[in-house]
Protein backbone atom coordinates (compact mmCIF):
# COMPACT_ATOMS: atom_id res chain seq x y z
CA UNK A 1 0.00 0.00 0.00
CA UNK A 2 1.48 3.32 -1.08
CA UNK A 3 1.21 6.39 1.14
CA UNK A 4 -0.61 9.44 -0.13
CA UNK A 5 1.71 12.43 -0.47
CA UNK A 6 0.03 15.21 1.50
CA UNK A 7 1.00 18.78 0.80
CA UNK A 8 2.61 20.68 3.62
CA UNK A 9 3.34 24.36 4.04
CA UNK A 10 6.36 23.58 6.22
CA UNK A 11 9.83 23.84 4.68
CA UNK A 12 13.37 22.86 5.58
CA UNK A 13 14.97 25.20 8.18
CA UNK A 14 11.56 26.28 9.58
CA UNK A 15 11.32 26.36 13.37
CA UNK A 16 8.58 24.04 14.61
CA UNK A 17 7.11 23.05 17.96
CA UNK A 18 6.05 19.49 18.80
CA UNK A 19 2.36 19.42 19.75
CA UNK A 20 1.92 15.70 20.55
CA UNK A 21 3.92 12.74 21.78
CA UNK A 22 6.70 12.23 24.27
CA UNK A 23 8.62 15.30 23.03
CA UNK A 24 5.60 17.64 23.37
CA UNK A 25 6.49 21.30 23.88
CA UNK A 26 10.03 21.08 22.48
CA UNK A 27 11.17 23.27 19.59
CA UNK A 28 13.67 22.70 16.83
CA UNK A 29 14.64 23.35 13.22
CA UNK A 30 13.49 21.05 10.40
CA UNK A 31 16.41 19.07 8.95
CA UNK A 32 14.51 16.99 6.39
CA UNK A 33 10.94 16.22 5.31
CA UNK A 34 10.08 12.72 4.05
CA UNK A 35 6.94 13.25 1.95
CA UNK A 36 6.46 9.54 1.22
CA UNK A 37 6.24 8.52 4.88
CA UNK A 38 4.84 11.89 6.03
CA UNK A 39 7.69 12.27 8.53
CA UNK A 40 9.67 15.31 9.52
CA UNK A 41 13.15 15.19 11.08
CA UNK A 42 13.67 17.95 13.65
CA UNK A 43 17.04 18.96 15.09
CA UNK A 44 17.46 17.73 18.67
CA UNK A 45 14.05 16.03 18.85
CA UNK A 46 13.46 12.27 19.20
CA UNK A 47 17.11 11.26 19.26
CA UNK A 48 17.81 7.54 18.82
CA UNK A 49 21.03 5.55 19.07
CA UNK A 50 22.44 3.68 16.08
CA UNK A 51 25.27 1.20 16.49
CA UNK A 52 27.83 1.69 13.71
CA UNK A 53 30.09 -1.12 12.58
CA UNK A 54 33.69 -0.22 11.81
CA UNK A 55 34.17 0.90 8.19
CA UNK A 56 36.73 2.81 6.16
CA UNK A 57 34.99 6.13 6.84
CA UNK A 58 34.59 5.34 10.56
CA UNK A 59 37.34 2.84 11.51
CA UNK A 60 36.39 2.69 15.20
CA UNK A 61 32.65 2.31 14.70
CA UNK A 62 30.68 3.19 17.81
CA UNK A 63 27.33 4.61 18.82
CA UNK A 64 25.77 7.45 16.85
CA UNK A 65 22.89 9.60 18.05
CA UNK A 66 20.61 10.67 15.21
CA UNK A 67 17.16 12.21 14.93
CA UNK A 68 14.22 9.92 14.12
CA UNK A 69 11.16 10.99 12.16
CA UNK A 70 8.04 12.53 13.69
CA UNK A 71 4.71 12.47 11.91
CA UNK A 72 3.85 15.74 10.17
CA UNK A 73 0.61 16.01 12.13
CA UNK A 74 2.56 16.19 15.41
CA UNK A 75 4.47 19.39 14.61
CA UNK A 76 3.34 22.97 14.10
CA UNK A 77 5.09 26.07 12.76
CA UNK A 78 6.49 28.15 15.65
CA UNK A 79 5.81 31.89 15.51
CA UNK A 80 8.69 33.61 17.32
CA UNK A 81 6.76 36.89 17.68
CA UNK A 82 3.63 35.27 19.12
CA UNK A 83 5.66 32.66 21.07
CA UNK A 84 3.30 29.83 20.08
CA UNK A 85 2.53 27.30 17.37
CA UNK A 86 0.44 28.63 14.49
CA UNK A 87 -1.15 27.40 11.27
CA UNK A 88 0.15 28.69 7.96
CA UNK A 89 -1.75 30.08 5.01
CA UNK A 90 -0.91 31.68 1.67
CA UNK A 91 -1.48 35.14 0.27
CA UNK A 92 -0.67 36.63 -3.11
CA UNK A 93 1.34 39.83 -3.19
CA UNK A 94 0.93 42.63 -5.72
CA UNK A 95 3.44 41.07 -8.13
CA UNK A 96 1.59 37.74 -8.09
CA UNK A 97 4.15 36.09 -5.81
CA UNK A 98 2.78 33.75 -3.10
CA UNK A 99 3.83 34.43 0.48
CA UNK A 100 3.28 32.30 3.57
CA UNK A 101 1.37 33.99 6.39
CA UNK A 102 0.43 32.99 9.93
CA UNK A 103 -3.15 32.30 10.85
CA UNK A 104 -5.19 34.05 12.20
CA UNK A 105 -2.87 37.11 12.64
CA UNK A 106 -1.83 37.29 8.96
CA UNK A 107 1.86 38.14 9.54
CA UNK A 108 4.27 37.21 6.76
CA UNK A 109 6.76 34.44 7.50
Cis omega (within 30 of 0) on the bond before 104? yes
- Structurally, the chain folds into a number of domains equal to 1
Would residue 3 count as lying in a domain?
no
Q: For the domain that residue 92 is a member of, what is the CATH number?
A: 2.30.30.30
- Res. 3 pLDDT band, cuts 50 70 90: low
Q: What is the largest CA-CA distance in the chain?
A: 57
- Reported as half-sphere exposure (CB side, CA atoms, 13 A), residue 59 has a value of 0
Would residue 29 count as lying in a domain?
yes
Would residue 30 count as lying in a domain?
yes
CA distance 91 to 17: 23
Would residue 93 count as lying in a domain?
yes
Would residue 66 count as lying in a domain?
yes
- What is the radius of gyration, based on Cα positions, of the chain? 17
Helix (H) or strand (E) holding 99: strand 98-103
Would residue 63 count as lying in a domain?
yes
The boundaries of the domain holding residue 85 are 15-103
Residue 52 in this model has a pLDDT that exceeds 60: yes
Would residue 8 count as lying in a domain?
no
What is the per-residue pLDDT across 73-107, written as a single tens digit (0 to 9) for each? 999 999 999 899 999 999 998 888 999 999 988 88
What is the per-residue pLDDT across 58-82, written as a single tens digit (0 to 9) for each? 899 999 999 999 999 999 999 999 8
CA distance 61 to 63: 7
Would residue 5 count as lying in a domain?
no
Return the closest-CA partner of residue 17 out of 64, 84, 87, 71. Answer: 84
Amino acid sequence: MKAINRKTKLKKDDEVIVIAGSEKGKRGKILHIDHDKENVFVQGIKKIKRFQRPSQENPKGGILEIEAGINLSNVMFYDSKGKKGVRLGQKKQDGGKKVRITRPEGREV
